Chain A
Amino acid sequence: MSLIWIVILPFIGSLCAAFLPSHARNVAAWLAGTVAVACVILTVQLYSQVIEGEVIREAVHWIPQLGLDFTFRLDGFAWLFAMLVTVMGALVVLYARYYMAAQDPVPRFFSFFLAFMGAMLGVVLSGNLIQLVMFWELTSLTSFMLIAYWYHRPDARHGARMALTVTAAGGLCLLAGVLMLGWVAGSYDLDRVLASGDLIRAHSWYVPMLILIGLGALTKSAQFPFHFWLPHAMAAPTPVSVYLHSATMVKAGVFLLVRLWPVLAGTDEWFWMIGTAGLLSLVLGAYAAVFQRDMKGVLAYSTISHLGLITLLLGLNSPLALIAAIFHIMNHATFKASLFMAAGMVDHETGTRDLSRLSGLRRAMPITATLAAVGAASMAGVPLFNGFLSKEMFFAETVFVIGHPITRIGLPAMAVVWGILSVAYSLRFILQVFFGPPAEDLPKKPHEPPRWMLFPSALLVTACLVVGMFPARTVGSYLNMASRSVLGENTPFHSLAVWHGFNLPLMMSLAAMVGGILLYRALGEYQQGTTVVPLIERFDGKRIFEFMLEKLDRLAMRLLRWFSTEHLQVQMLLLIIAVFASALIPLSSGGLPEGDKTPLPVEPAFAVLWLIGAVCAIAAAAQAKYHRLAALTLSGVAGLATCMTFVWFSAPDLALTQLIVEVVTLVLLLLGLRWLPPRDKSLDHETMPLPVRMRAEARRSRDLVIAICAGIGITGLSYAILTRSAGEGISPFFIENSLPLAGGSNVINVILVDFRGFDTMGEITVLGIVALTVFALLRRFRPPAEAMTVPVKQQEQGAQSGALPSDPHALLPAGPMMVPAVFVQLLLPVSGMVAIYFLLRGHNEPGGGFVAGLIVTTAVILQYLVGGTAWAESRTRIFPQYWLAAGLLCAAGAGMSAWLAARPFLSALAWHGTLPIIGEMHLSTVLLFDLGVFFLVIGAAVLILVALAHQSRRAHRKQEVAEVETPVEVPDSPAGQGASGHASASLFAPVVPMAPTDYPPVEAERQKLPHVLPPKERED
């Protein structure tokens, strides 16, 4: 299982580091270091198996239904890369411990760092292509976090965004390419894919696959033309640059190219695409590096160039070039990481990385200077350093390319140009910073960094030297193992000698050396003051990238304008047409043959019922514009017809629920009616200009046609279904097992609270959320100004009877409602009893928690309707929010009680026994669940209704406050505006509508009544 642990350990470490306090620098560093070293050890102990040529595989089931497993796979090449990731990780942790300042939130850094390490190891060790892409995108995400670590800096945020956009977009291309690859190979398993190289290369999808996978790899490895993100990613802390942008993440692209080399390489398309990108990056990167002023900028462009070298080697389609590429991946990681570390140390100790300000540091920082000089020599390809070896192999490969004369002469020539340029920038990097007169105006006085900060760099530099001098003895066997795992039996013979005699590659190296020194001399002064890269300065990848992003934004906005609308009516229209069309399409092809079921005989009473229902529905549709109350009543009749239909066709539970919901909905809508605006005569048809009226008429006719079509369509569809026999469904199960399994004879209730209890649980949760949302929305409710006065009817009544407004603390509300109030008060306990009766019998007879809850709600609302809000709340304190909570807790508790018996959530537990006095008893958690439904329905419905009812009280109060504070001079002028302004301002104060204390003083209420305000209610 050690493979899995190599990947999981860093993630666990990341999670632990995330929970450390932000000043725990040492703890976090120790944690990260321990994890990295543990991963190194785990990897090392697998060596003995890997060297034998064995491929280690481990799998964990992920989504077995889709044939997806977490597969980990380790061969020689993956082992080498895993070593690179883990060893570099351990060294960078040590370096970062000293690099990061004490005031930085270091645990966050290490948390992301470890997550990145895990993701990178996941990429390296994946044995499944989809899984590889997943980890690949994870490295993009964690790298985003690491680049933006100092997120207070705009350049860090910008660089991180750019890196993420480019690499994640590449990752998506890669996913598409990998999906195609897996489809062609018949499996996403890496071994299966690697074995089907001929099949893939011959497939007609080969070119698209190559382009997509190539895009993924080239963006990740910052290859031309996607190279521009890497220099901007240098805003990251230097340890991140060391680890991600020289040693590991940017190598993921070339890692993938090597991994898929046996499958994809060997064609002209591969040569041209990968080779060209590599060559351009190679030369342009080196060229741009010469003109950088920032130390890290030089290294970033140099990295682009060296990655170009690796890519070009891979593009050459030669096994020897592949070996050189693998070798250079390792060499580049060692010397470039040590150089980044040196740059970081210079920055850390002097406060700047500007080449034009730094000078003569070798006196103050001799060790750093030595380390950097060795690294730079390796980067330039000086003999006896490891960079020289892979460079020689590269030169040799370019010489051996056969084909067109342009490539035959052009490639070696370009290689020499690259050599000259890299010698020039390496020389400048060292001579500028460490030699010459000591700089005077540095932000900090330079001195040698702490010993442990130097250590990782020293170790890497030693490796450069040792490998450079004794390549065959030090890395020969590892390189051989890695190449063999990629190339298999076709691995050619290769020698890692320092000295191959006087040959063409050596001549090229010498030419590059001399040329580089001359170029450095020639450029000398020119470079000092400039940051401009001559000739290619106008081809700024960043500018093109930003330009394209902006264009994309504009395009998206334009598309949105074309294809979307904010008008609800248009949306509705399209929706209805779409539904109609989607129903019509299968119908038009298949037709609708006659049904086989004999219809029930027609009963005249049912026909009359629906004659009334239909007339009322149509009338409601016609009246809803100007006569809202009438429309509400008419639609209520249609609802009652629906309710009767449920009774008729054997659904007593539905009928009960529908009846009570009808009542509650009616009350709800009545409460809302008074806030709607009065009829605006100016918008009436008669006064409108003719073209507007014509347009409106046309729209209405169109909608009428659509409505009639929809009606006819659904009639036909319903009739067709009703006259056919029902197919085999799951219903017989419920009927057969309701009594034996659930012990209830009301199948509907058994389904709701037992068989499908989880659905009901979800439903009541939704109900609770809706109630709370309604409550929250109403807290910020602004009543419209003209609806703030007391309704006309109430004013008239008050004026006629001369009665005082009812005293909330009186025994009965005064006025005409006194007698009904008596009845309603008597009704409350009775309705409670009825509700409990319905609740308890629900399991066996029509009833249940929903119905019972709604019955109680109706009774409570009646109190409010008859007595008024103030009166009702002065004697009953209902806290619907507690009912909500109690309901959810009951239902969830009933569900969880099943765990006590070690059964799944919501399994019913029942107890049947005899109690001393009561006798035989049957108790079940199902009842508790239904009780939860009951409580919740009460809570939700009452909360909604009472919150709405409270709005009228609030509006009155605002009106009074406004009248007291604003002297009313002219009734219809600015004073009124002031009133509404004040009202809306103070409405933002949180008001809890349930608290019975927020009543206006009775005196104020009395004052307000004599005001007779202009009638503003609607016509009906």
Chain B
Amino acid sequence: MEAIYALAIGVLTASGVWLVLRPRTFQVIMGLSLLSYAVNLFIFGMGRLMIGGAPIIETMAQADPSLYDDPVPQALVLTAIVIGFAMTALFLVVLLASRGLTGNDHVDGDPEA
């Protein structure tokens, strides 16, 4: 499972990096969104993979940490997902503004540059 998980992160990263290096704004925005999947999975993986250990405590007695998945990376990733949405929105608007001002969708505003 770990190998598949790692490969998934790798493929998402590779696709994201390729797109981030492209000259069109839409490619970059797609690249960032693929990269953020990869990064979120990577951070989530820091807590190691566990099946059936959602950190929702059922017992009223003292909870045993080894029975639950690590909650800290999860909390981090949850925040990252929401902030990622905000970043995409902001980037999209900057993209549109650049498109309106320069008349093209090159990342530097000038396809010849």
| Cβ B2 vs Cβ A600 within 8 A | yes
| Cβ B78 vs Cβ A748 within 8 A | yes
When distances are taken between beta carbons in the complex, the residues of chain A under 8 Å from B42 are 714, 718
| Cβ B10 vs Cβ A714 within 8 A | yes
When distances are taken between beta carbons in the complex, the residues of chain A under 8 Å from B55 are 650, 735, 738, 746-748
| Cβ B47 vs Cβ A599 within 8 A | no
Kindly state whether residue A165 has any CB partner on chain B within 8 Å. Answer: no
| Cβ B2 vs Cβ A735 within 8 A | no
Given contacts A651-B54, A712-B10, A718-B10, contact A606 B88 (CB under 8 A): no
Kindly state whether residue A100 has any CB partner on chain B within 8 Å. Answer: no
Interface size on A, residues (CB 8 A): 113
Kindly state whether residue A763 has any CB partner on chain B within 8 Å. Answer: yes
| Cβ B108 vs Cβ A677 within 8 A | no
Given contacts A650-B53, A664-B85, A774-B89, contact A618 B11 (CB under 8 A): yes
CB proximity of A628 to chain B, nearest CB, Å: 5
CB proximity to A under 8 Å, residues B87-112: 87-90, 92-97, 99-101, 103-105, 107-108, 111
The 0/1 profile, CB within 8 Å of B marked 1, for residues 809-827 of chain A is 0000000000000000000
A710's partner among B1, B17, B60, B105 (CB-CB below 8 A) is: B17
User: Complex Cα distance A774/B87, Å?
Assistant: 10
User: Complex Cα distance A845/B55, Å?
Assistant: 10
When distances are taken between beta carbons in the complex, the residues of chain B under 8 Å from A756 are 75
When distances are taken between beta carbons in the complex, the residues of chain A under 8 Å from B28 are 568
The stretch from A37-45, A72-80, A630-638 touching chain B is A630-638
CB proximity to A under 8 Å, residues B40-87: 40-42, 44-58, 60, 62-65, 68-72, 74-75, 77-79, 81-87
When distances are taken between beta carbons in the complex, the residues of chain A under 8 Å from B15 are 617-618, 620-621, 707, 711
User: Complex Cα distance A606/B58, Å?
Assistant: 27
CB proximity to B under 8 Å, residues A709-755: 710-712, 714-716, 718-719, 721-723, 725-726, 729-732, 734-736, 738-739, 745-748, 751-752
Closest residue on chain A to residue B89 by CB atoms: A944
User: Complex Cα distance A734/B57, Å?
Assistant: 11
Given contacts A639-B37, A844-B56, A846-B56, contact A610 B7 (CB under 8 A): yes
Kindly state whether residue A865 has any CB partner on chain B within 8 Å. Answer: no
| Cβ B14 vs Cβ A711 within 8 A | yes
Closest residue on chain A to residue B2 by CB atoms: A722
| Cβ A669 vs Cβ B94 within 8 A | no
| Cβ A650 vs Cβ B51 within 8 A | yes
Output the residue of B14, B30, B87 with the most chain A CB within 10 A: B14
When distances are taken between beta carbons in the complex, the residues of chain B under 8 Å from A654 are 44, 74, 77-78, 81
B83's partner among A602, A646, A722, A763 (CB-CB below 8 A) is: A763
A774's partner among B51, B60, B77, B93 (CB-CB below 8 A) is: B93
| Cβ A661 vs Cβ B81 within 8 A | yes
User: Complex Cα distance A739/B71, Å?
Assistant: 14
A782's partner among B64, B75, B82, B100 (CB-CB below 8 A) is: B100
The stretch from A216-224, A302-310, A764-772 touching chain B is A764-772
Kindly state whether residue A625 has any CB partner on chain B within 8 Å. Answer: yes
Given contacts A735-B68, A778-B93, contact A661 B34 (CB under 8 A): no
| Cβ B78 vs Cβ A747 within 8 A | no
When distances are taken between beta carbons in the complex, the residues of chain A under 8 Å from B56 are 652, 745-747, 844-846
Kindly state whether residue A477 has any CB partner on chain B within 8 Å. Answer: no
A600's partner among B44, B51, B107 (CB-CB below 8 A) is: B51
B52's partner among A650, A725, A731, A937 (CB-CB below 8 A) is: A650
When distances are taken between beta carbons in the complex, the residues of chain B under 8 Å from A948 are 89, 92-93
Interface size on B, residues (CB 8 A): 94
CB proximity of A169 to chain B, nearest CB, Å: 37
User: Complex Cα distance A844/B97, Å?
Assistant: 43
| Cβ B65 vs Cβ A614 within 8 A | no
When distances are taken between beta carbons in the complex, the residues of chain A under 8 Å from B88 are 665, 668-669
Kindly state whether residue A648 has any CB partner on chain B within 8 Å. Answer: yes
Looking at chain B's contact residues, is the secondary structure mostly helix, strand, loop, or mixed? helix
| Cβ A668 vs Cβ B78 within 8 A | no
B26's partner among A576, A676, A732 (CB-CB below 8 A) is: A676
| Cβ B107 vs Cβ A568 within 8 A | yes
When distances are taken between beta carbons in the complex, the residues of chain B under 8 Å from A597 are 48
| Cβ A672 vs Cβ B14 within 8 A | no
User: Complex Cα distance A729/B75, Å?
Assistant: 14
User: Complex Cα distance A726/B83, Å?
Assistant: 27
| Cβ A649 vs Cβ B44 within 8 A | yes
User: Complex Cα distance A773/B47, Å?
Assistant: 35
Number of A-B residue pairs at CB separation under 8 A: 318
| Cβ B5 vs Cβ A569 within 8 A | no
A614's partner among B8, B30, B46 (CB-CB below 8 A) is: B8
| Cβ A638 vs Cβ B37 within 8 A | yes
| Cβ B85 vs Cβ A661 within 8 A | yes
B48's partner among A621, A648, A722 (CB-CB below 8 A) is: A722
Kindly state whether residue A440 has any CB partner on chain B within 8 Å. Answer: no
| Cβ B72 vs Cβ A731 within 8 A | yes
| Cβ B71 vs Cβ A745 within 8 A | no
| Cβ B21 vs Cβ A569 within 8 A | yes
B54's partner among A652, A658, A672 (CB-CB below 8 A) is: A652
When distances are taken between beta carbons in the complex, the residues of chain B under 8 Å from A738 are 55, 57, 63
| Cβ B18 vs Cβ A719 within 8 A | no
| Cβ B22 vs Cβ A625 within 8 A | yes
When distances are taken between beta carbons in the complex, the residues of chain B under 8 Å from A777 are 93-94, 97
Kindly state whether residue A432 has any CB partner on chain B within 8 Å. Answer: no
When distances are taken between beta carbons in the complex, the residues of chain B under 8 Å from A951 are 96
| Cβ B92 vs Cβ A668 within 8 A | yes
User: Complex Cα distance A625/B12, Å?
Assistant: 17
User: Complex Cα distance A661/B15, Å?
Assistant: 21
| Cβ A707 vs Cβ B14 within 8 A | yes
| Cβ A653 vs Cβ B78 within 8 A | yes
User: Complex Cα distance A628/B31, Å?
Assistant: 12
Kindly state whether residue A206 has any CB partner on chain B within 8 Å. Answer: no
Kindly state whether residue A642 has any CB partner on chain B within 8 Å. Answer: yes
Output the residue of A620, A621, A770 with the most chain B CB within 10 A: A621
Closest residue on chain B to residue A632 by CB atoms: B30
CB proximity of B72 to chain A, nearest CB, Å: 5
When distances are taken between beta carbons in the complex, the residues of chain B under 8 Å from A894 are none
Closest residue on chain B to residue A725 by CB atoms: B48
When distances are taken between beta carbons in the complex, the residues of chain B under 8 Å from A718 are 5-6, 9-10, 42, 45
| Cβ B34 vs Cβ A937 within 8 A | no
| Cβ A714 vs Cβ B13 within 8 A | yes
Closest residue on chain B to residue A599 by CB atoms: B2
When distances are taken between beta carbons in the complex, the residues of chain B under 8 Å from A784 are 99-100, 103
Closest residue on chain B to residue A673 by CB atoms: B26
B100's partner among A617, A723, A781 (CB-CB below 8 A) is: A781
User: Complex Cα distance A645/B77, Å?
Assistant: 13
The 0/1 profile, CB within 8 Å of B marked 1, for residues 924-956 of chain A is 000000000000010011001000100100000
Given contacts A651-B74, A850-B82, contact A642 B51 (CB under 8 A): no
| Cβ A734 vs Cβ B72 within 8 A | yes
Output the residue of A566, A618, A654 with the most chain B CB within 10 A: A654
User: Complex Cα distance A710/B38, Å?
Assistant: 12
Give me 23 A-to-B residue pairs in the complex whose CB atoms sit less than 8 angstroms apart, sorted by A's number: A566-B108, A572-B20, A576-B21, A600-B49, A614-B11, A617-B15, A621-B30, A650-B68, A652-B54, A654-B74, A654-B78, A661-B82, A675-B99, A710-B13, A711-B13, A721-B45, A735-B57, A770-B87, A773-B90, A846-B54, A940-B86, A941-B85, A944-B86
Among all A-B residue pairs, the 9 with the closest Cβ atoms: A711-B14, A715-B10, A707-B18, A732-B65, A782-B100, A719-B6, A621-B15, A747-B55, A718-B6
Q: Which B residues contact A (CB, under 8 angstroms)? A: 1-31, 33-34, 37-38, 40-42, 44-58, 60, 62-65, 68-72, 74-75, 77-79, 81-90, 92-97, 99-101, 103-105, 107-108, 111, 113
